[in-house]
Structure 1
Amino acid sequence: MAAKREHEIDGATLGVITERMSERLIPQIRKQSIFMFQLEKLKSTETNGEPATRTCDHASQPSSHPDTSLVIPPVLRMAIDSRDLDLKSASKTKLRSLLIQTLFNHLSKTTMLPTRFQYVELLSTLNLDYPFLRESIGSGYLAWDLRDIANVDVDQQILNKVAVMAPRIIRVSRSPLKNKLMCMIDDCAEDKLKTGLLTEAAILLLPALFKEKPELLFEVEGQAQTSTDMSTPKMMLKGCREGHPMKYDHIMLSMDDQVITEESVDISMALGLLLCIYFVFRIQYPKGLKKTLTFLECVVLKLKDAGKLPVTVKRVYNSIYD
């Protein structure tokens, strides 16, 4: 409130605040992100026919808001309508570059430094308006964006690599969670389903292998939650029967108490989307999960040279393959 009084901010001024202005009002990044998210929601409400009260002095003045509608160039719209596969190509194409440039131009109307909420909102809207652009994994836009950046099929890479390593990860794990997970796996008679359960168990046991905090990777609904000062995305395992992390009903990904997606069908898919969130939004790895995420980045996704792994991570890597 003090900042509002100091800068003489009224209802009309609030409507034209940019992200750059918010940096002066709110120094802390986390609170600034929340403020900008709520402000965007407020602006959206006004656009949908519920305008906030304005003074008579400003009512007759032309709007100072920039045009925020997403303008799709005709050539791009034709490609989308014809479901041109170049838009979803794993390699760079003229159409993909044009689409990315279009999204950049749209965001730059209001800010050159879009928040993750603006970014998610734009790509989510794009996928709703043009379902063809949606990926087959999770929320679509996260995996789509990372594939464009690093040319990595995240979901497939995790399924292939972690499935191979899973028995070894479980074998060397000393996590107290191990016996609980193995009881469920041992009770499974179907081989294909058992392979999937082994992969999920390996993912859940991975942080303990590096003596890190599993609660920074996932949380089981109903169990005590861990608070952190950092923006830390994590898997939320919902509806877990008997508190068992692999007996979930569905999985959410959240960050800063904001739900990002609820569309992960299993833990391996959720992990893929979680890594996408870290990479796309350039989020710093939390100290209590840094080795685990570095291992996944270098060894599983091969985004960096595994030969340059930190000594502590390399030691665990060697123990898996011994």
Structure 2
Amino acid sequence: MCFLENDIDGETVDCGLTEAMVGYLFDGSFKKQIKFQQFVRQYKEAETIVILEPVPVGVANSTAELQPTPSNDSSGEPAHKRLPVVIVIPTFPKDVQTRLDAKESCQKVPKIRHKIIRVLYEIMAEYTMYPTNAEYIQVAKALIVKYPFLRDKEGNGYDICVGEDLMSVEAHVKVLQSECSKTHPDVSSVKDLMARTFSWRRREVTEGMPVDDVLKKYPYLRMPSGLFNEVDQIHPSTSSFCARFRDCFTAVLPNVLKLAKGQSHLTKHYTDARQDALAEDLPGIDLRAGLIFLPSIFREKIEHLITVGEGDPATPYPTIQLMDNDWIMAISGRGFSVVKVDGIAVCQCTSIDEAFITAFSMYFAFNIAYPVHLKNTLTFLQRCIVSIVEEGEKPLPVTLLRKINLLY
């Protein structure tokens, strides 16, 4: 009750209690006075207080332009405050704090790094959901003051391992996940957040982040449009990935259908689907059939890409699962499918052509090497259909070029 009666709280302790004040609070007990003073010393040793430098007007204005405008409450005041003058770096979770106490450069370990970022983000989230770049930097500086061994050896020392990019990514990811959880997310906002987090996401993917973790962190990649946009960011072009795929494949479609007649065992299903179709449905049927026939031209099997029925595919590679157990329905465009990768059902598609392009885009989005049993088909699509050439790729083998020449 003495603490309440005398208005003693954390702020009062931070300001400092004299020995007389402590004696008054614990009158008649030297043991309690000593233990309380010991507690205060340990509390202060566990904190680092950093006085933030004033943010230059030019910097504040330039970064503020990138931030959403804060809403106002009923009083007309902004719904959030800027960071306080004094920033306190708290104690981290035990597994992180143990490493920091041992002066380990643990920011290089993804799991530890993410925990550090989460704590720093929570500090800022108490005051604003839209911190400026200058504020990101100041909080990162506070961390480096307390743990100087986390400083990067290059640049300003904090912007790569625990600085602006990392913290801003975590903030954007929270907003992205919240937006994607809505029934009708704001697509323009989602695309903007995916663009802001793109560089960091690519580093996570190339460093080996599991597909399941990538999908949880960036749920927009569970949508075909999200995967197509991701490829557009990885390999920018004057035309979109999806449009380029459809237009360029349509150009070779007549030759695909011609060459596949004597090579694919599914040609009868195509004939049956076409027989009962309306004239306006024939272009779509031809396109879907051509995609299904394509692997046979390169002496590969479509069954390595498309499975029929509800059983899980026996491969970690991107796979299309026809849920209606019927090739004719798939070719006709009446069945729906699920696109899977690494045993995870990523998204549903209403047509086999959308599913085909979605599965193909996953190789780029998740940094997956082509499997041997589909390498020629996928290489043809990459090099000739969507015109993507990765740095350091070798010229196409002569045997593959001969097959490709038959299509043009």
Task: From 322, 338, 344, give the equivalent of 1:252.
Answer: 338
How far 1:148 sits from its partner (Å)? 0.6
Task: From 216, 220, 224, give the equivalent of 1:121.
Answer: 216
Residues 103-252 of structure 1: pairs in structure 2 closer than 5 A: 113-124=208-219, 127=220, 138-152=223-237, 153-173=240-260, 174-191=263-280, 193-221=281-309, 227-228=314-315, 231-241=316-326, 245-246=330-331, 249-252=335-338
In the aligned structure 2, how far is the partner of 1:149 from the partner of 1:234? 22
Residues 257-276 of structure 1: pairs in structure 2 closer than 5 A: 257-262=343-348, 264-276=349-361
In the aligned structure 1, how far is the partner of 2:226 from the partner of 2:198? 12
**Root mean square deviation of aligned Cα:** 4.0
Q: Which amino acid aligns with 2:338?
A: M
In the aligned structure 2, how far is the partner of 1:308 from the partner of 1:112? 27
Q: Deviations over 1:217-246 (max 9, x none)?
A: 111226x88634xx3111111114477542
Identity %: 20
Q: Which has the larger radius of gyration?
A: 2
The alignment's TM-score, normalised by the length of structure 1, stands at 0.61
Residue pair 1:123, 1:141 contacting (<8 A) in 2 also:
no
In the aligned structure 2, how far is the partner of 1:145 from the partner of 1:184? 34
Q: Deviations over 1:268-319 (max 9, x none)?
A: 2112211221112121211111000000001111002999332222212211
Q: Which residue of 1 aligns with 2:368?
A: 283
In the aligned structure 1, how far is the partner of 2:375 from the partner of 2:321? 19
Q: Which residue of 2 aligns with 1:47?
A: none
In the aligned structure 1, how far is the partner of 2:395 from the partner of 2:207? 34
In the aligned structure 2, how far is the partner of 1:309 from the partner of 1:73? 49
309 and 86 in structure 1: CA distance in 2 versus 1, 3 angstrom threshold: farther
Q: Deviations over 1:141-175 (max 9, x none)?
A: 32222111101522211221222222210111121
Residue pair 1:298, 1:304 contacting (<8 A) in 2 also:
yes
Task: From 283, 287, 297, give the equivalent of 2:382.
Answer: 297
Residue pair 1:185, 1:194 contacting (<8 A) in 2 also:
yes
Q: Which amino acid aligns with 2:354?
A: M
Deviates more, 1:144-153 or 1:292-301: 144-153
1:98 aligns with 2:196: yes
Residue pair 2:340, 2:346 contacting (<8 A) in 1 also:
yes
141 and 64 in structure 1: CA distance in 2 versus 1, 3 angstrom threshold: farther
Q: Which amino acid aligns with 1:115?
A: P
In the aligned structure 2, how far is the partner of 1:112 from the partner of 1:283? 12
Residue pair 2:269, 2:328 contacting (<8 A) in 1 also:
no
Structure 1 unpaired stretches of 5+ = 1-60, 90-94, 128-133
Residue pair 2:253, 2:290 contacting (<8 A) in 1 also:
yes
84 and 102 in structure 1: CA distance in 2 versus 1, 3 angstrom threshold: farther
Q: Which residue of 2 aligns with 1:317?
A: 404
87 and 290 in structure 1: CA distance in 2 versus 1, 3 angstrom threshold: same
Q: Which residue of 1 aligns with 2:68?
A: none
Aligned length: 237
Residue pair 2:320, 2:340 contacting (<8 A) in 1 also:
yes
In the aligned structure 2, how far is the partner of 1:197 from the partner of 1:251? 16
Structure 2 unpaired stretches of 5+ = 1-91, 97-114, 133-167, 180-185
Q: Deviations over 1:44-101 (max 9, x none)?
A: xxxxxxxxxxxxxxxxx955572287986446999999x7969858xxxxx8763335
63 and 170 in structure 1: CA distance in 2 versus 1, 3 angstrom threshold: same
Higher relative contact order (CA 8 A, sep 6+): 1
